[in-house]
Amino acid sequence: MKIFILGFMGAGKSRLGSRIAGFMDIKFIDLDDEIEKNQGITIAQIFLEKGEKGFRKIEKRVLHQCNKSDQIVIACGGGTPCYEDNMEVMNKSGTTILLDVPQEVLFSRLFNSKQKRPLIDNKSEEELREYIVDKLAEREKHYNKAKIKIDPLNTSLELIKQILTG
């Protein structure tokens, strides 16, 4: 079994992904953590040194490396499904689950943790609200290709388990 957790920044991909891996008793990988390990610098430093274009190239490469493993849950970055053929690769290799979280919730989570995220770290409250609306609209067509869509705030772990194991 291979599961890819997708969703916007702040959707809770890593938290839920590691819980799913826990109850399925399989390995968990956070793609951003893998990228940082692979490069030996933080995501913020990668954006600073290589720009977003450079980051996306690395992200794709590391996704392919992680994809070689089986029995794994991979929590992706918010942009992972939206570049190159990443979404097709993930859909071909395993189960893709989108965490669909309301914009207001994303906003309050991200406003309190934006320092860690180079795409939003210098945005004002108003700019962040606008960014979330615009980016979600832009990314929707990619996110909608996920095989499963859940609202993690209103879906119990038990139900997620049932959905995944059939």
The interface region with ligand S3P, picked from 76-84, 89-97, 126-134, 148-156 by CB under 6 A, is: 76-84
Examine residue 9 and tell whether it contacts ligand S3P (CB under 6 A): yes
Tell me which of 32, 81, 96, 160 binds ligand S3P, using CB under 6 A.
32
Residue 118's contacts (CB-CB under 8 Å, 6 or more residues apart) are 43, 44, 47, 48
Q: Which is nearer to ligand S3P, 45 or 162 (CB)?
A: 45
The interface region with ligand S3P, picked from 73-81, 88-96, 101-109, 125-133 by CB under 6 A, is: 73-81
**Cα–Cα distance for residue pair 90/88, rounded to 1 Å:** 5
The interface region with ligand S3P, picked from 64-72, 74-82, 96-104, 141-149 by CB under 6 A, is: 74-82
HEC per residue, 94-127: CEEEEECCCHHHHHHHHHCCHHHCCCCCCCCHHH
Examine residue 5 and tell whether it contacts ligand S3P (CB under 6 A): no
How far lies 40's CA from each of 30, 58, 149, 164, in Å? 15, 12, 33, 34
Footprint on this chain of ligand S3P (rule: CB under 6 A): 9, 13, 32, 43, 77-79, 117-119
